[in-house]
Homo-oligomer: A and B are copies of this chain.
Amino acid sequence: MMAKNYWITEEPIDPGDCIEKVVRNEAGAVNTFIGTVREFTKGKRTLFLEYQAYVPMAEKKLAQIGNEIKEKWGNAHVAIVHRIGRLEITDIAVAIAVSTPHRADAFDASRYAIERIKEIVPIWKKEHWEDGTKWIGDQQENTSYDTRIPSEEEMRDD
A residues lining the B interface (CB < 8 Å) = 14-16, 19, 23-41, 89-90, 92, 99, 101, 103, 106-107, 110-111, 114
Contacts and interface: CB of A to CB of B under 8 A. Distances in A.
A144 B18 CA distance: 35
Contacts of A16: 14-16
Nearest to A89: B25
A20 to B, nearest CB: 10
Nearest to A93: B28
B33 A101 contact: no
Given A14-B16, A90-B24, A107-B110, A31 B29 contact: no
Q: Tell me the dominant secondary structure on chain A's binding face.
A: mixed
B15 A39 contact: no
Contacts of A14: 16
B101 A38 contact: yes
B103 A114 contact: yes
Contacts of A33: 29-32, 103, 106-107
Contacts of A39: 25-26
Given A14-B16, A16-B16, A107-B107, A32 B34 contact: yes
Contacts of A19: 15, 34
Contacts of A111: 107
A27 B111 CA distance: 17
